[in-house]
Amino acid sequence: MQTSLPEQYRLTPNGRRAEDILRSCVHCGFCNATCPTYQLLGDELDGPRGRIYLLKEMFETQQVSAVASTHLDRCLTCRACETTCPSGVQYGELLELGRDMQTQQIRRGLIERVLRRWLLAVVPDPGRFRRWAVLGRSVAWLLPSRLRQQLPPPVKPAVPVAAPETPVGRVLLLAGCVQQVATPQVNAKLTQLLARHDIEVVTAAEEVCCGGLPLHLGEDLRARQMVAANLRALHPYLHQVDAIISTASGCGVTLKDYRRLLPDDDELAPAAHHFVRKLKDVSEYLLELDIPFRKLDDIDRVAVHIPCTLQHGQKLGPAVQQLLAGAGYELIEVKEPHLCCGSAGTYSMLQPDLAEKLRQRKLDNLELHEPEVIVTANVGCQLHLAAASRAPVRHWLELLA
């Protein structure tokens, strides 16, 4: 793709990167074949190729039109297009650049501004999020059904697990933001599994949000500030553990991008490199660990939903299936496994109509052959699917005995 970016923008780091990515696109349109919003709406501007043209116009004119803003907002950032693209276009990174410009220029309506500010202020803070969740459940009968669906269910506190007396290894387990409020049993389950194999699990009380939420909302500066704060909090642990584990793929895809997000920070760039080298999604860590697991006695047939952040962002789709099949589960074939469920971080709140349609399409495929349980690898997908699923929806780690 030929570009004509104004020189004052082209010479900036963002401008150079935007030009490189734009020029790698060859207009083939293969991306549209796997884009969930294009499949749903059939509009060229709601597919990656059309959005790339909109982004090109934004960068060349340095103006964000209302049309461009509408179609960028509808993008899930699922990155299925990256998996499909024969030219290796880094669409997700290009969209980040566009959304940062969009945030600076577009003034949104009052309700959306309030919602976005609430999301940024509450969701990355587990204490605040927990208080809001309790409050929401207490008045759930007053809330519209769409808001009720967003409320995490009440959970029992995780039972502490004794550390092994003579550990053969040590890992740092990341707690995340939403996950430690909505599904703390996931990390508790992993801690139990590893303790049985004499692997010690440590956590960092100073851990903060990975930065994924503001990055998704086009708040580039705030995202990088969170990345820096998280690295400073976790840096003391980097030389004390064998690996750093994330059990939420939505966090993991941002965490694995820390080197890119802080390229010019002389203080933190070395820590970011070290951090990313040790960081693993729990599925790849358990595969490398090569320890035996068995299935739960009361479950046989399982439908697996691999989140976009795992299969398209981290390129780790088959790992979960390998572990579950190895434990003895019957994995049901699922149609359109590459398509997003509609959760996509904050998407289910900001684009509820599209999110519900995508969820129904996903559930139709997951429930087609009547599984006993549906499993996934990210807390957002889990809560989103569970709100409308006939079958129980759990994190896949909970199925390992």
| Tokens matching residue 390 | 């006939």
Q: Which residues of 378-389 are buried (b: 16+ CB within 10 A; e: fewer)?
A: bbbbbbbbbbeb
Closest CA to 389 of 371, 367, 369, 372: 367
Closest CA to 177 of 243, 115, 132, 236: 132
**pLDDT higher for 147 or 209?**
209
Instruction: Give the pairing of strands 330-331 and 301-304.
Output: parallel
Whole-number pLDDT of residue 385: 97
Residue in the structure block whose two tokens are 């003034």: 107
Kindly give the residue spans of alpha helices, DSSP state H, lying in 167-257: 178-182, 185-196, 212-216, 220-234, 249-255
> First CA to last CA across the chain, in angstroms?
52
Give Dmax over CA atoms of the chain in angstroms: 65
Q: Is the pLDDT of residue 150 over 90?
A: no
Please tell me the distance from the alpha carbon of residue 118 to that of residue 350, in angstroms, as a whole number: 12
Whole-number pLDDT of residue 401: 82
Query: Are 169-287 and 293-399 the same fold in CATH?
Result: yes
Phi, psi of 66 (to 5 degrees): -65, -35
**166-208 pLDDT, tens digit each:** 889 999 999 999 999 999 999 999 999 999 999 999 999 999 9
Whole-number pLDDT of residue 44: 96
Whole-number pLDDT of residue 158: 74
Residue 221 binned pLDDT confidence (cut-offs 50, 70, 90): very high
**pLDDT higher for 141 or 21?**
21
Q: Are 382 and 359 in contact (CB under 8 A)?
A: no
Residue 159 binned pLDDT confidence (cut-offs 50, 70, 90): confident
Whole-number pLDDT of residue 60: 96
Whole-number pLDDT of residue 329: 97
Please tell me the distance from the alpha carbon of residue 339 to that of residue 362, in angstroms, as a whole number: 7
Q: Could you give the strand order of the β-sheet that contains 199-202, starting from the edge strand earlier in sequence?
A: 199-202, 169-173, 243-246, 279-281
Residue 263 binned pLDDT confidence (cut-offs 50, 70, 90): confident
Q: Is the pLDDT of residue 84 over 90?
A: yes
The DSSP 8-state label assigned to residue 158 in this structure reads P
Whole-number pLDDT of residue 41: 96
Whole-number pLDDT of residue 300: 96
Q: Cβ–Cβ contacts within 10 Å for residue 331, how many?
A: 16
What fold is seen in the domain 169-287?
A: Rossmann fold (3.40.50)
Q: Are 395 and 377 in contact (CB under 8 A)?
A: yes
Whole-number pLDDT of residue 251: 96
**pTM of structure:** 0.93
Class of domain 293-399 (CATH, top level): alpha beta
Whole-number pLDDT of residue 148: 75
Percent of the chain residues topping a pLDDT of 90: 86
Q: Are 274 and 238 in contact (CB under 8 A)?
A: yes
Burial of 111 per CB tally in 10 Å (0-12, 13-18, 19+)? exposed
Residue 377 binned pLDDT confidence (cut-offs 50, 70, 90): very high
Whole-number pLDDT of residue 125: 93
Whole-number pLDDT of residue 156: 79
Please tell me the distance from the alpha carbon of residue 195 to that of residue 87, in angstroms, as a whole number: 44
Please give the average per-residue pLDDT across 278-284, as a whole number. 97
Please tell me the distance from the alpha carbon of residue 354 to that of residue 338, in angstroms, as a whole number: 17
Domain extents in the chain: 7-105, 111-150, 169-287, 293-399
Q: Are 73 and 109 in contact (CB under 8 A)?
A: no
Residue 240 binned pLDDT confidence (cut-offs 50, 70, 90): very high
CATH homologous superfamily of 7-105: Alpha-helical ferredoxin (1.10.1060.10)
**101-121 pLDDT, tens digit each:** 999 999 999 999 999 999 999
Residues in the chain: 401
Phi, psi of 85 (to 5 degrees): -65, 125
Residue 157 binned pLDDT confidence (cut-offs 50, 70, 90): confident
**pLDDT higher for 320 or 150?**
320
Q: Is the pLDDT of residue 299 over 90?
A: yes
Q: What is the mean pLDDT of the chain?
A: 93
SS3 292: coil
**22-49 pLDDT, tens digit each:** 999 999 999 999 999 999 999 999 999 9
**324-349 pLDDT, tens digit each:** 999 999 999 999 999 999 999 999 99
Please tell me the distance from the alpha carbon of residue 321 to that of residue 71, in angstroms, as a whole number: 34
Q: CA Rg, the chain, in Å?
A: 21
Q: Are 345 and 216 in contact (CB under 8 A)?
A: yes
